[in-house]
Structure 1
């Protein structure tokens, strides 16, 4: 399976990490609903919805966020195709076990549902966020389910903005739409820190109900102007 992230989706994941650098953050990845062709390759990830930075693994809150996400997806002909998490401690690249109950609520994420079109699970390499450059690879570690837990994609290879496995039994590829996306997105976020200040996730929405956690319109507008 090949997943390709647009600058908007990639940028929102980074913005979530940059907004709460002292916290673990998590959210879901969205693609256009292609019910008529569910195995379309590549699967283009067009957006990301940030769920939280507090109460990691608290299932009731995640269930509420999931239901609101599903409503948004129905209204905009989207579907959940992935999930991302960045750990609190720099250098921690292990998928947190506290989030396993949350992930299993997502469509297709139960190990018993595994297919060739399984969803994407990403752990953000937070130790790379401060050094993103023009030619850097995306700071992600794709995860696969094996030995009753989530593990980093075996035989991970990084080349020209693409992450893939060198092991044939794990045919997963994660890429950006261009080799310059990492540098371009990072410059946009670095030069528009006020947009990151406005960025909100579902947890922040619970504290400040006017927070624009679903649309994050200022960030969307930033990437629209970049195109």
Structure 2
């Protein structure tokens, strides 16, 4: 099984965690799963406060699922609240199981390892888990290219985390785009 995360979603995951350094954050992975390969092309930040299984996030799942852009929800990402916390979050597992039930296929969980953000975000900091047919979670690695790490580092240096809008922000201010089109343009411009 291989997991590939493009530069833009990789940077968005890191920036979402940097925006809320003392809170757990959650989001959706968008892309395609073909055979033993999952390619993540985009992410949608969901939450930094609420439980990712709250009714408002059920609405977010429905909105993102119905979006006619050709991308499927292939999993969930999260960053733990505590700096050195690692391992599968029970909340992320429940959200991934919900996504797997909707899709009828295994879901992927990408975890940000907060402790690896030290040093200007220039280190690989994502790990991955994927469920199998028996419901067990297997840990997989995600390799980032140097271009991806450079993109993440430059985005963090430019403090683009201030531009991240998650679904909870959207509920507070409906004109806010939780799909983060402006952020994507800023990240690509940073590199």
- Return the TM-score normalized by structure 1: 0.72
Q: What's the counterpart of residue 28 of structure 1?
A: 28
Deviation at 1:90, TM superposition (A): 0.9
Map 1:123-138 onto structure 2 (within 5 A): 123-132=111-120, 134=122, 136=123, 138=124
2:143 paired with 1:175: yes
What secondary structure does 1:143 align onto?
Answer: strand
Whether 1:142 aligns to 2:135 is no
Of 58, 64, 73, the residue aligned with 2:59 is 64
Distance across 2 between alignment mates of 1:102 and 1:27: 10
CA RMSD in angstroms, aligned pairs only: 2.7
Separation in 2 of the partners of 1:108 and 1:63? 13
Higher radius of gyration, 1 or 2: 1
Change (3 A) 1:56 1:109: same
Residue number among 156, 164, 170 corresponding to 1:199 in the alignment: 164
Contact 2:24 2:79 in 1 (8 A): yes
TM-score where L is the length of structure 2 = 0.84
The corresponding residue for 2:155 is: 188
Q: Which moved more, 1:125-134 or 1:78-87?
A: 125-134
2:90 maps to 1:97: yes
Q: Alpha-carbon deviations, 1:99-138, whole Å to 9, x = none?
A: 433222103589xx66xxx33211210111122555x3x2
Structure 1 position 98, deviation (Å): 3.2
CA distance in 1, matches of 2:50, 2:176: 18
Question: Residue in 2 aligned with 1:86?
Answer: 79
